[in-house]
Amino acid sequence: MELAQRHGDFAMAGIACLAQVKDKTFKNLKLVYFGSEDKPTLAKNTIASMLGKTWSEDCCKTVTESLNDDLNPMENLQGGSAMKLHLQNVLTGRVLRTALDQAETE
């Protein structure tokens, strides 16, 4: 999942997610961020904060806090570091909710 100014442009923020979910609980999770960092970045703290946790709004807050420790977005012509961190937080919520929705339909 990614965000760009226009379709086909380079991503301002993006995330690749691999998740194993059972009963709204993350059993296995990999989150790799791109577009905001100088190289793809595995979110180790965020992953650790999610494993074994059942999804809730509190869980969503924990993700946001731990993502601040995992990412150090660079500033460039596409935006500042604070904006990119915000975009990555938004994408993280979206991708985790998508993983939960897909797990429920299987």
- How confident is the model over 31-42, as pLDDT tens digits? 999 999 999 999
DSSP string covering 54-100: BP-HHHHHHHHHHHHHH--PPPBTTB-HHHHHHHHHHHHHHHHHHHH
Contact status, residue 53 vs residue 26, Cβ threshold 8 Å: yes
Strands in 41-42's sheet, in edge-to-edge order, are 2-3, 13-22, 25-34, 41-42
The arithmetic mean of pLDDT across residues 40-52, rounded, is 94
Taking only the tens place, the pLDDT of each residue in 79-105 is: 899 999 999 999 999 999 999 999 887
Sign of CA dihedral 50, 96, 32, 64: negative
Task: Look at residue 46 in the predicted model and tell me its pLDDT.
Answer: 93
The arithmetic mean of pLDDT across residues 8-18, rounded, is 91
DSSP string covering 1-53: -EE-SSTTSPPSEEEEEEEEEETTEEEEEEEEEESSSSS-EE-HHHHHHHTTP
How far apart CA 22 and CA 27 sit, in angstroms, is 7
Task: Look at residue 60 in the predicted model and tell me its pLDDT.
Answer: 78
CATH of domain 2-105: 3.30.390.50
